[in-house]
Chain A
Amino acid sequence: MTKVTSDLDARFRTAAADAGLLDAAYDLVETPLGTLLVAATEAGLCRISYDPEPDRELEQLGRLLGTRILRVAKPVDEARRQLDEYFDQRRTEFDLALDLRLSADFSRRVLEELARVPYGETTTYGRLAARAARPRAARAVGTVMNRNPIPIVLPCHRVVGSTGSLVGYGGGLERKEQLLRLEGVAL
């Protein structure tokens, strides 16, 4: 069978993104924490997944954002560059447009507060709840952290229990520890 060359394949993918015809573009990004699936809409970065199973991930994104989803490197390049720098300890803040439409009101408020927790520092679920104007909602904040659509960039790894225990992490506790160490947090 006549196969499409990788050059032609890449040209189509880029043309599709440039024409603004996609609900979302995604690519796989290699990091010290393993391969990440990184997805973006026209509005901004919308998803980072650990240990991605692309098939399942695409179904899910398709249900949430629309099925015009294509793997294209370019729309994700800036996020890839900043993630590289972050893991090289050359970047302490991400400067990326985010698309939080996958999160409902309370979650979004919590995630916006989460974005303000600085590099190399930690906060607690309770304090984050207070900052999101729901001081008694520490447990709900835990759930929001667990479902954080954009981990690393939205630093849920910086949120720990009131006793200083790491509690949990959507990508596995080991990764939470790795990220905090990378940022120079004493554990």
Chain B
Amino acid sequence: MAVPPFERFYVEHRDVVFGFLVRRVGRAQAEDAFQETFLRALRGWNTLRHGRHLRAWVLTIAARVVFDAAQGPPSNSLLQGDEEPVEDGRPAYAELAYLADELPPTERAAVVLRYGYDLPYAEIGAALGSSEEAARAAASSGVRRLRRKEGLR
């Protein structure tokens, strides 16, 4: 599946992303986060190798934007993955982020949104266009896969 023109991707996902952001940070801050999310998507667009799972892709960008905004500038720790592990669990997750990169996209999004950003399953399900149960199943199968991989190393 080829990478579509950005216009088509944007029109297809703008309302889902905006709804997700409104739920996360409220309407007032959602507008800035929305713009930032799609600008990041544009910056990363040429690294896409195919046009599958774009919804999961853009939602993980949106979650990262929310996370970065909560951290305040200039922290970009999750992107860099180079911060010391601390108690709140997120930078610790960063140590595992490279593993999540190898997961199938839906599992990856579910794992990232659940363990990277602490989203409840109901919301992950809504974001991914599936149910709470499906989100839970995707996250736990992702985690099982990660454990197997980790076991192999």
Interface residues of A (CB under 8 A from B): 1-4, 8-9, 11-12, 15-16, 19, 21-22, 55, 58-59, 61-62, 66-71
How near does chain A come to B127, taking the closest CB pair, in angstroms? 12
Footprint of A on B, CB under 8 Å? Answer: 3-8, 10, 14-16, 18-19, 22, 31, 34-35, 38-39, 42-43, 45-46
Contact B15 A67 (CB under 8 A): no
- When distances are taken between beta carbons in the complex, the residues of chain A under 8 Å from B31 are 8, 11
Given known A62-B5, A71-B7, contact A15–B35 (CB-CB < 8 A): yes
Are B18 and A21 interface neighbours, CB within 8 A? no
By a CB distance below 8 angstroms, the chain B residues around A15 are 35, 39
Please give me the residue from chain A that is nearest to B20 by CB atom.
A2
Q: List residues of chain A with CB within 8 A of the CB of B38.
A: 12, 16
A21 CA to B44 CA in the complex, in Å? 10
Residue in B5, B18, B42, B46 whose CB lies within 8 Å of A3:
B18
CB distance from A15 to the nearest CB of B (A): 6
Instruction: Kindly list chain B residues whose C-beta atoms are within 8 Å of the C-beta of A1.
Output: 15-16, 19
Pick the contact of A58: B3, B5, B19, B46 (CB < 8 A): B5
| Distance from A25 Cβ to chain B, minimum over Cβ atoms (Å) | 10
A sample of 20 inter-chain contacts (CB < 8 A) reads: A1-B16, A2-B15, A2-B19, A2-B22, A3-B18, A4-B18, A8-B35, A12-B34, A12-B38, A16-B42, A21-B39, A21-B42, A55-B8, A58-B5, A61-B5, A62-B5, A68-B45, A69-B5, A69-B7, A71-B7
* Cα of A14 to Cα of B79 in the assembled complex, Å: 26
Please determine whether A67 and B5 come into contact, CB atoms closer than 8 angstroms.
Answer: yes
> Chain B's interface: helix, strand, loop or mixed, by majority?
helix
Q: Is the interface of A mostly helix, strand, loop or mixed?
A: mixed
Chain A residues lying within 8 Å of B8, measured Cβ to Cβ, are 55, 58
From A4, A59, A61, A69, contact of B14 by CB (8 A): A4
The answer to whether B14 and A11 touch across the interface, beta carbons within 8 angstroms, is no
Cα(A22)–Cα(B38), bound, Å: 12
Known: A12-B35, A19-B39. 7 other contacts (CB 8 A): A4-B15, A8-B34, A15-B39, A19-B42, A21-B42, A58-B7, A69-B7
Known: A58-B5, A61-B5. A70 touches B15 (CB 8 A): no
CA distance A69 to B6 in the complex (A): 5
Q: Is the CB of A67 within 8 A of B6?
A: yes
Q: Tell whether, in the assembled complex, residue A9 and residue B39 are in contact, meaning their CB atoms are under 8 Å apart.
A: no
Distance between A84 CB and nearest chain B CB, rounded to angstroms: 24
